[in-house]
Structure 1
Amino acid sequence: MDSEKVVRAMARWWQTVSQEDGDSRNPITYDLLQENQSKTSKTRQYVAAMIICLGAVAAGTALSWTSPVFPQISAGNESSFNSTTGGISNSTSNENDIRLTDSQKTLVGSMLPFGALFGALPSGYIADRIGRRYTAMVMDIPFILAWITLSFANSVGWLYLGRFLIGIATGSFCVVAPMYISEIAETSIRGSLGTLFQLLLTIGILFIYVVGALVSWKTLSLLCLIIPILLLVGLFIVPETPVYLLKNGKRSEANRALKWLWGDYCNTSNAIQAIQNDLDQTGVDASVKDLFSNRASRNGMVISVLLMVFQQFSGINAVIFFMNEIFESSSTLNPNVCTIVVGVVQVIMTLASSLLIEKAGRKILLIFSSTIMTVCLAMLGAYNTINRHTDLSQSIGWLPLLCIVLFIVSFSVGYGPIPWMMMGELFMPDVKGIAVSLSVMMNWVCVSLVTWLFGVLNAGGADVPFWFFSAWMGVATAYVAIALQETKGKSASQIQSWLSGR
């Protein structure tokens, strides 16, 4: 402890001497200042981001839960999970008293996006009122209640309730987590931290694919309950964001939060002043009218919404839904094994994106992502067109598997994580809550719309949806190439200057 006190005293002495000598170097700065003049601690920023993104893990488990569960509780399927053999047996168990018809399965599946709309819309407003951290705590409660409900459900009504509750929590964390991360991260790692949301989402999906193949659906639901409990515990450890604290006049608390996040020995005075300058320019919380009347906010909103639209109109959900059927017809591999393999690929490539994003940049990864997806979707469309009219497709049965793997790879490095990350950096604090809520709500509207459209288009032929989504990705490539500027390494003020046309 004595040596630590000596180090602290020397640091304070050097700070005083530097200020007297007119030395402008500062150990830590916010966006407007140069970070590379000093060495700061980034460990706790990653820790805080990982904790808040446990909500993304929980969301991933919620999104993919139906994949292993529906085969166990479908009407006409009298088999049950055998805990001894780790497989499906023909004996009936109390766990499998629930039997769902096709229409009931559709309703159970649709409860999540429906609940997500209710969760996303008010979350930005709540986050501006009580803080990002406390909003995450409040919205973690529906996660816990949902998994308890699903674990002990004995009728389809409880499944509806559980999926609706889990949708509320999922939609809310899609708003709160990107807001929190964008307000705690230094400029140099803002992109990497921003991609953690999608990375941990894919880890949650993979967890369901692997564990769901080994245990019964009620046991799976109980295991999923562990994640939101860990999240709630972790939220008591991390601080509120400095931006929110300063916005509400809590300067000393903001200083302590910065010390916790950026290192005990950092000089936070310039960082605090830079944040305050940005807040002074924006003023009080803005309304929806202010969001669209300000040019920078309006342009940011257009970009954020379009990136969300392009993300969903890549057909990612349609490809996932169609994946098992393609694997069954085009491969000798077990569809469950193929699903796990695709899940692993998705996690690995999303991780690669988090490493590449601060090197390659947002724009180049988005263009790469949409270009490869355009080609892959077109090839899937061509394969299904050939399959409808000739038997030639039998000789190229490997093509769909190749296309799906490349599609997942390209989605995971670009349109998977980047729209979520950019959503947090396009807006100033006064409009961020409203803007992020509207962007996330639009994402979930598109999820529902694409799911419905896939069924309609597929009725016209298995090739039609893929041609449709391929055309959308072509539009996305052109839009990003023409209209989007790189935001890598840019401060909040620099991004706002670009959006306002200065």
Structure 2
Amino acid sequence: MPIENASDELEKPFIQQPKSADPEGESGQNGSIFMVLLSTFVAICGSFEFGICVGYSSPTQSSIRHDLNLSLSEFSLFGSIITIGAMFGSITSGRIADYLGRKGSMRLAAVICIAGWVAVYFSKAAWSLDVGRFSTGYGIGLSSFVVPVFIGEIAPKHLRGGLATLNQLLIVCGSSFVYIVGTIVTWRTLALTGLIPSILVLVGLFFIPESPRWLLKVGRRKDFDLALRKLRGKDADISHEAADIQAGIAHLEDLPKVGVRDLFDAKYTRAIIIAVGLFVFQQFGGINGINFYSGEILAEAGFSREKGQIAYAIIQVPITLIGATLMDKSGRRPLLMVSATGMGFGSFLIGAAFYLKAHALLLEWVPMLAISGVLLYIATFSIGMGAVPWVIMGEIFPIYIKGIAGSLVCLVHWSVAWLISYTFNFLMTWNAIGTFWIYAGFSMLTVLFVAKVVPETKGKTLEEIQAALSAHRTAKNRNRNLLED
């Protein structure tokens, strides 16, 4: 497809694009992929840690509050402060990954998470809980950047997409794991389980190579050759791939350097609006409130906290797999709109359950409405709004501003995530019905935002996407000039 026609094609989400010939496709990789798989496994242990950290507050709220005599506001701060830590982690992640390398960054993230879990385990007061929670937040904020970057830099291109989806899948698995185990063990023992993936990362890093691209970027040519050879196998011909990587690094060095102010240039406006908008709507749909406190939601509605959390945990993994499968078949926009619609309906059902409870109507229906709403919400979130915004963010920014633009978007994401997670308990105290119907309203607005603003990027090269965004901007400026004339 010619790049000059990309603008028209960008709005056709259901049209399949022809596959181009790939001389280095599956048949072109004649080396062993064992080291790639091992390296990916070590990296996604950090993703599993991410899921455990995020899900920890849901099964532990009542027991921590009881054991340490915490007020609602104190526990709300504990639950939400992880997002503040993640905010700082994501802001500093790019520079740390460039300075320490991908392995060094993952090692640092693992050590910080271990320190955080130890602080939580030994906590006798709210302040030490918060310190530990903040530390785990910083660790996952750092790893949330470096893990997908590392996987993308070590994987052969015919495996890159599939291996990249494992990052989101393992986050969901970690969250599901802590929901289930949290129904069996105490909150202190559950904190110890958070040490396991970080320890696996620390041990595993001794057996895997550094990112070849980072090694070449910092001038370690000999180490670059050894790392690439180790990843592709001793019998693989790496000359062509090595030449491509060298050309890519040389091209990056020739690109213009940009700062935060440059992001507000008119040529980046639409991409910024799309990325920031998706994450703002994702969070204002209430995901962190429901994810962090699902156990208490179900208990308030009269449903078994333990059974509800187990069902919540079980449904996430297969639905996330389905979403990953559909992403390059149905397209990004349809998945986002179906996902947001389901989230809105799920939130409406939860609000309806609390409405019936408040008015003493059909009380036998209240628990089933609540669990149905929660499960529908998390299932539809997992199929689209969970992963697709991250994918689109990686597609719509030019390569030379991806780092700084990604940091800005992540800052907005974690800031809004903190706002939602911190205010959730207070909103529930104010009006449980209104809380979930507000979330439902934002989910419906998300559908409108996607339909009007977000382009379809399925089957397009990054160059075609950039050309289409540029053509859209040019057409908009031309129309504005015509109106002014």
TM-score clears 0.5? yes
Alpha-carbon contact 2:47-2:168 (below 8 Å) kept: yes
The CA deviation at 1:63 is: 1.9
Pairwise mapping of residues 418-429 of structure 1 onto structure 2 (< 5 A)?
Answer: 418-427=388-397
Task: Compare the two structures and name the one with the higher helix fraction.
Answer: 2
Q: Deviations over 1:376-417 (max 9, x none)?
A: 233444454555557246457533322221211111111112
Task: Return the alpha-carbon distance in structure 2 between the equivalents of residues 290 and 39 of structure 1.
Answer: 43
Pairwise mapping of residues 40-51 of structure 1 onto structure 2 (< 5 A)?
Answer: 40=29, 44-51=35-42
1:406 corresponding residue in structure 2: 376
Pairwise mapping of residues 375-414 of structure 1 onto structure 2 (< 5 A)?
Answer: 375-385=345-355, 388=358, 391-392=361-362, 394-395=364-365, 398-414=368-384
| Larger-gyration structure (1/2) | 1
In structure 2, the CA distance between the partners of 1:308 and 1:159, relative to structure 1 (3 Å rule), is same
Structure 2 unaligned regions, length at least 5:
1-19, 473-485
Alpha-carbon contact 1:243-1:429 (below 8 Å) kept: no
Task: Return the alpha-carbon distance in structure 1 between the equivalents of residues 384 and 217 of structure 2.
Answer: 32
Alpha-carbon contact 1:330-1:400 (below 8 Å) kept: yes
The CA deviation at 1:45 is: 3.7
Corresponding letter in the other structure for 1:62: C
1:304 aligned to 256, 266, 275, which one?
A: 275
Task: Return the alpha-carbon distance in structure 1 between the equivalents of residues 396 and 33 of structure 2.
Answer: 22
Corresponding letter in the other structure for 1:319: I
Task: Return the alpha-carbon distance in structure 2 between the equivalents of residues 328 and 148 of structure 1.
Answer: 29
1:38 aligned to 11, 24, 27, which one?
A: 27
Task: Return the alpha-carbon distance in structure 1 between the equivalents of residues 225 and 352 of structure 2.
Answer: 58
In structure 2, the CA distance between the partners of 1:318 and 1:70, relative to structure 1 (3 Å rule), is closer
2:60 aligned to 55, 69, 80, which one?
A: 69
The CA deviation at 1:350 is: 1.7
Is 1:55 matched up with 2:46? Answer: yes
2:168 corresponding residue in structure 1: 198
Alpha-carbon contact 1:188-1:489 (below 8 Å) kept: no
In structure 2, the CA distance between the partners of 1:378 and 1:106, relative to structure 1 (3 Å rule), is closer
Pairwise mapping of residues 240-255 of structure 1 onto structure 2 (< 5 A)?
Answer: 240-255=210-225
Task: Return the alpha-carbon distance in structure 2 between the equivalents of residues 310 and 440 of structure 1.
Answer: 14
Q: Deviations over 1:330-379 (max 9, x none)?
A: 56x53112111111111222233333334444333223212222332334
The CA deviation at 1:497 is: 3.5
In structure 2, the CA distance between the partners of 1:393 and 1:208, relative to structure 1 (3 Å rule), is same
In structure 2, the CA distance between the partners of 1:392 and 1:213, relative to structure 1 (3 Å rule), is closer
Q: Deviations over 1:468-497 (max 9, x none)?
A: 222322232233334434444544444444
The CA deviation at 1:457 is: 4.8
Provide the identity percentage.
Answer: 33
Task: Return the alpha-carbon distance in structure 1 between the equivalents of residues 350 and 186 of structure 2.
Answer: 34
Task: Return the alpha-carbon distance in structure 2 between the equivalents of residues 490 and 270 of structure 1.
Answer: 24
Instruction: Answer with 419-428 or 50-59: which moved more.
Output: 419-428
Task: Return the alpha-carbon distance in structure 2 between the equivalents of residues 323 and 229 of structure 1.
Answer: 28
Corresponding letter in the other structure for 1:58: E
Q: Deviations over 1:167-207 (max 9, x none)?
A: 21121112222322333344444443333222212222222
2:323 corresponding residue in structure 1: 353
Task: Return the alpha-carbon distance in structure 2 between the equivalents of residues 293 and 321 of structure 1.
Answer: 34
1:288 corresponding residue in structure 2: 259
Alpha-carbon contact 2:114-2:195 (below 8 Å) kept: yes
The CA deviation at 1:231 is: 0.8
SS at match of 1:461: helix
Is 1:140 matched up with 2:110? Answer: yes
Corresponding letter in the other structure for 1:38: S
2:135 corresponding residue in structure 1: 165
Instruction: Answer with 374-383 or 204-213: which moved more.
Output: 374-383
1:339 corresponding residue in structure 2: 309
Alpha-carbon contact 1:297-1:431 (below 8 Å) kept: no
Alpha-carbon contact 1:59-1:170 (below 8 Å) kept: yes
1:128 aligned to 74, 95, 98, which one?
A: 98
Pairwise mapping of residues 145-160 of structure 1 onto structure 2 (< 5 A)?
Answer: 145-160=115-130
Task: Return the alpha-carbon distance in structure 2 between the equivalents of residues 240 and 114 of structure 1.
Answer: 29
Structure 1 unaligned regions, length at least 5:
1-30, 78-95
Alpha-carbon contact 1:146-1:162 (below 8 Å) kept: yes
Q: What's the C-alpha RMSD, in Å, of the aligned pairs?
A: 3.3
Corresponding letter in the other structure for 1:182: G
Task: Return the alpha-carbon distance in structure 2 between the equivalents of residues 194 and 335 of structure 1.
Answer: 33
In structure 2, the CA distance between the partners of 1:485 and 1:122, relative to structure 1 (3 Å rule), is same
Task: Return the alpha-carbon distance in structure 2 between the equivalents of residues 63 and 479 of structure 1.
Answer: 27
The CA deviation at 1:464 is: 1.9
In structure 2, the CA distance between the partners of 1:258 and 1:368, relative to structure 1 (3 Å rule), is farther
In structure 2, the CA distance between the partners of 1:455 and 1:324, relative to structure 1 (3 Å rule), is closer
2:16 corresponding residue in structure 1: none
The CA deviation at 1:310 is: 2.5
Q: Deviations over 1:402-434 (max 9, x none)?
A: 222121111111111223344444445543332
Corresponding letter in the other structure for 1:201: I
Aligned residues: 450
